Amino acid sequence: MRKMLLSFKPEVYEKIKSGKKKFEHRRNFPDEPIMAYMYVSAPIKAIKGIVYLGKRHLLSDWREEFKNDKEAVVRIEKYQELYRYAMEINEFQETTEISLGALRRDVSGFVAPQMYIYLDGTELLDYIENKIEKLDGCTVHDYSVIKSNEVCVH
């Protein structure tokens, strides 16, 4: 499983943490399982969680699959204006924070990602894995059945 640092807005982070957001939508994203450290943008400016992303879904496939649900089609078409894919958020793990200040101080040349960066084999990955600690908060989702009211929400 590849590892990356993935940027999130604070409100998106909170929805993932609460379990309300079950899919992460992106225009481009790799088609493989990903373990991502969550960098939360301003005003938080810190790494403070881990998400395990599973299957990548094409929104156009969902549009076809749920074509008989008019509300779902409207939501999917709206999301298609900005995104192409939805990745299953299999699991969220809350962690201790690593601040932007600490990252800049301790990792040469660190710049917060606009979208995501791969971490495999990097100094940054070693640093994160040595500093971060998992906390009690963990959310796991089941995708054995995906219903039309679960797609393209939040």
CA distance 154 to 137: 20
CATH number of the domain residue 18 falls in:
3.10.590
Residue 42 covered by a domain: yes
Query: Per-residue pLDDT tens for 78-128?
Result: 999 999 999 999 999 999 999 999 999 999 999 999 999 999 999 999 999
Question: Cis bond leading into 30, ω under 30°?
Answer: no
Residue 146 covered by a domain: no
Q: Provide the pLDDT confidence category of residue 154 given band limits of 50, 70 and 90.
A: confident
Determine the pLDDT at residue 137: 80
Determine the pLDDT at residue 150: 94
Count of structural domains within the chain: 1
| Whether the predicted model's global pTM rises above the 0.75 cut | yes
Query: Per-residue pLDDT tens for 39-76?
Result: 999 999 999 999 999 999 999 999 999 999 999 999 99
CA distance 37 to 8: 10
Cβ contacts of 84 within 8 Å, gap of 6 or more: 26, 27, 28, 58, 59, 60
Domain encompassing residue 20: 2-141
Cβ contacts of 151 within 8 Å, gap of 6 or more: 23, 62, 66, 72, 75, 76, 86
Q: Which of 1-5, 116-120, 127-131, 137-141 has the lowest mean pLDDT?
A: 137-141
DSSP string spanning 11-45?
HHHHHHHHT---EEEESS--SS-EEEEEEETTTT-
